[in-house]
Structure 1
Amino acid sequence: MRTTTPTRIRTRKTWPTALLAAALLATAGAGCAKEDDTAGTASTKPRTIKAVEGCDAKGWTDPSDLTADRAPARCDKGAPAPQKLPKKRKITVATGTAGAEYVAPLQMAVKKGEFAKEGLDVEVKVLPTPDALPLLAKGDIDAQWAAPEAAVMNGINGGFTIKWVAANYSPDPKSRSGLWVRLNDGQSATHVPMAGRKLGTMIGKGSVIAYPMSKALKKHGGGLDKVDFRQLGSADVLTALQNGGVDSAWLLDPVWRKVDGDKKYAFLGGQPLGEPLGGLLFGPNLLQDDPDAGVAFLRAYIRTVNTYFAGDYKKDPAFVTELAKLLKIEEPVLKSTPSLRMDWEIRSGTTDRLQAAYKEAGVAEGEAIPEKRAVDRKLYAEAVGHRP
């Protein structure tokens, strides 16, 4: 665990796949796990789990519950209470963007001093996942606000001590962020033949979105291996769909609002309800060297969700104004989409389903790895006082 102030890292361009692979191999000696799937992570050693006031009743849900209307875990406002570490720790966490709504709990925890209450000095760096991943494996950064994307799973498969330790959100049922298609004359939205179609997306096949995209495509005779992917800039995806450059597109918040209600387009599906696909990744610093700081980080994050994002947070006009300013998003844009369902818990089998999609897309390397090598729920369980 580093205690010195890290040098400022500037945002860089995404590395080509070959260069990323070389970087991962070069750092392998610094963050490799032992042969045992869970050896080498301090969170696997016995730790004292104490009951946490305010989290007793609903601070934990069964990970196997995949129902769409599942109520996410919640503690009381202000819980779990801070437990300041005896010595201040410097934590560096990377995120691909500082302005997206799903990053709001991380940003709000910094702004409201929730990390500071735990004795943590948290610095947020903006870095693309491929740039941050080698730094996380080597221990040059402590955490990553990202997702178990193909590059992450391939890195773990190569021996890195990196685990998905907390989730971020699932969409509101009213959200229509996801796969949209332009209908041809006479086509019904209930069945749109997708095989051979051009699909525009700013997200590559190695993203976690491959999983829900695969589900949506297969309902309409397509699949990740049956469509023609066109990777486009964020400002070009909608334009290409509207002018015929692509037949379909994965539209994010709030872009889908531009076609919602237009009978020329149909929504085919988005992220599964009740199943988060991203969140926090920890490397060897917080898994092996200082799990106390890892639990403290998660305690602050979970407390922020319970205090500020427990329900429909966009019903509070003052909070929406504060959040828009924090994320540097125009307030009308922020209010144009429903609140996210913030959720720190990881569902069972998600990494299995993600890996199946990566294999279908041709971006998985090696055999699929078991969940226990990619996911660690022990730290957030400790933060809320859940005893297995």
Structure 2
Amino acid sequence: MSALKSVPSRGPGAARRRPARRRGRATAVAFLAVGLATVTACAGPSGASRTTAAESTPPACAPLAQREHVRIGVAEALSLGTPFQAAGGGWNDEQNLDVEMVVFPSTQEAVALVGVGQLDAAIGGMSANLFSAIDSGVDVRVVGGMGALDAANLPSGLFVRSDLVEDGSVRSVADLKGRSVAYSGTTGSPASWYVSLLLQQGGLALDDVRGTRLSYPDMPTALQNGQVDAAFVSSPFAAQVEEQGLGRRVGDHSVIAGHTNVGIVLGPNLLEQRSDVGCALVRANMRAAAQELTPGYSTRQEVVDAFVTYAHMPADLVRSTPEYLYSPTLDVRPETLQSMQEIFIAGGSLDLAAPLPYERVVDVPFHDAVVASIPST
């Protein structure tokens, strides 16, 4: 059973303090045991909801006339930074929003709740389950991306145990064949896609290694005690692996740079029933990306404070972790979604004859309407 906590957004003029943590409602927790597969099953035949995002009517995206409350699912990560900066930077207040952030151990669980209306939105990983749900008629769509990996200063990477590199057992990606490789989530998770891209350099696929599911905090210890041979480690734990000499990067990591495999996912609550509120929420996140999360953000005290207050991250960790790159309009690259689906299909975690079109996954009219509603500076 997953423990949840809600983090309220700071109102205008409120004292800066650490929000109290509380457990989520029992109904939400119970739903997580069922997962996105149940949401898909309940959706009816393929295409039961809007057939493509391109056929939806763009929202007007007018300013909200009154204060509105929304609940969004998040994970406390620097790559998912816009909701925390929208709260700390006052952008939610600007949009007349009270945003309740419900923190999940896995954002894939949050996406499932969006599909049945128990959450208004989620900042979640674009997994095989998400593509499958959309294909089956679940009314969820991606309306924006998050932080991308910077090729010049990667915060994540595939690390091989240092002793295996030093004794010559692993000299290249190809030498990982048959060895244990840890990554977050299951086959079909966003992290497994990154691993697949790197394994391809050695002519390997996920089936050629012994996949081990581990959380990011457990990976440094697993490398240190020899539990796994390699691991795809995300920030801030990648820095720990490098600083303590527990592992060394293997492969050309430029193949994963520039991609974001996490997005803002809306469901029926904000796509249709309250589309003006959905616009305001996405607009607040875009404003946060454009104003708070520009290069050098980790050196700005107000940005650090927002991560400390709303994502419960130590200040020194925010300052020392390599920065993610945020598009000011939170764009999602078509080639990213195409590659993810191709790899998931080939690996058997996504049962589709061919990748879904970009416009079926991303609500382009919605995204573009939000962008058009932001005043030029």
Q: Please give the TM-score of this superposition, normalised by the length of structure 2.
A: 0.80
Counterpart mapping for 1:89-104 below 5 A: 89-95=68-74, 97=75, 99-104=76-81
1:108 maps to which of 72, 85, 101:
85
Residue 22 of structure 1 deviates from its aligned partner by: 5.6
SS at match of 1:260: helix
Q: Structure 1 or 2: larger helix share?
A: 2
State the alpha-carbon separation in 2 of the partners of residues 31 and 158 from structure 1.
4
Counterpart mapping for 1:137-152 below 5 A: 137-152=115-130
Counterpart position of 2:13: none
The number of residue pairs the alignment matches comes to: 341
- Name the stretch that deviates more: 275-284 or 111-120: 111-120
SS at match of 1:324: helix
State the alpha-carbon separation in 1 of the partners of residues 81 and 312 from structure 2.
11
State the alpha-carbon separation in 2 of the partners of residues 14 and 235 from structure 1.
25
Residue 137 of structure 1 deviates from its aligned partner by: 1.5
**Can you list the C-alpha shifts for 1:264-319, whole angstroms capped at 9, x where unaligned?**
63333557222221120011122222322222111111111122112211122454
2:57 maps to which of 45, 48, 53:
45
State the alpha-carbon separation in 2 of the partners of residues 153 and 15 from structure 1.
18
Taking a change above 3 Å as real, the CA distance of residues 221 and 101 of structure 1, as seen in their structure-2 partners, is same
1:133 aligns with 2:117: no
1:194 maps to which of 169, 172, 176:
176
State the identity as a percent: 25
Taking a change above 3 Å as real, the CA distance of residues 382 and 247 of structure 1, as seen in their structure-2 partners, is same
The one-letter amino acid of 1:227's match is: V
Residue 189 of structure 1 deviates from its aligned partner by: 4.5
**Can you list the C-alpha shifts for 1:63-108, whole angstroms capped at 9, x where unaligned?**
xxxxxxxxxxxxxxxxxxxx6312433211112x2x3212332022
1:375 aligns with 2:336: no
State the alpha-carbon separation in 1 of the partners of residues 171 and 242 from structure 2.
13
**Can you list the C-alpha shifts for 1:115-168, whole angstroms capped at 9, x where unaligned?**
232222221112344543343122222111102211111111211111111001
Residue 336 of structure 1 deviates from its aligned partner by: 2.0
1:154 aligns with 2:132: yes
SS at match of 1:230: strand
Counterpart mapping for 1:1-388 below 5 A: 8-9=24-25, 12=29, 15=32, 19-20=34-35, 23-25=38-40, 27-28=42-43, 33-34=48-49, 36-38=51-53, 44-45=56-57, 84-95=63-74, 97=75, 99-127=76-104, 128-172=106-150, 173-182=152-161, 183-184=164-165, 185-186=167-168, 189-190=171-172, 192-260=174-242, 262=245, 265-268=248-251, 270=253, 272-317=256-301, 319-343=303-327, 344-367=330-353, 368-385=355-372
**Gaps (5+ residues) in structure 1?**
1-6, 50-82
- Name the stretch that deviates more: 254-263 or 110-119: 254-263
Q: Please give the TM-score of this superposition, normalised by the length of structure 1.
A: 0.77
State the alpha-carbon separation in 2 of the partners of residues 37 and 240 from structure 1.
43
State the alpha-carbon separation in 2 of the partners of residues 159 and 375 from structure 1.
14
CA RMSD, aligned part only?
A: 3.1
SS at match of 2:158: strand
**Gaps (5+ residues) in structure 2?**
1-22
SS at match of 1:180: strand
The one-letter amino acid of 1:316's match is: R
Counterpart position of 2:8: none
State the alpha-carbon separation in 1 of the partners of residues 85 and 263 from structure 2.
15
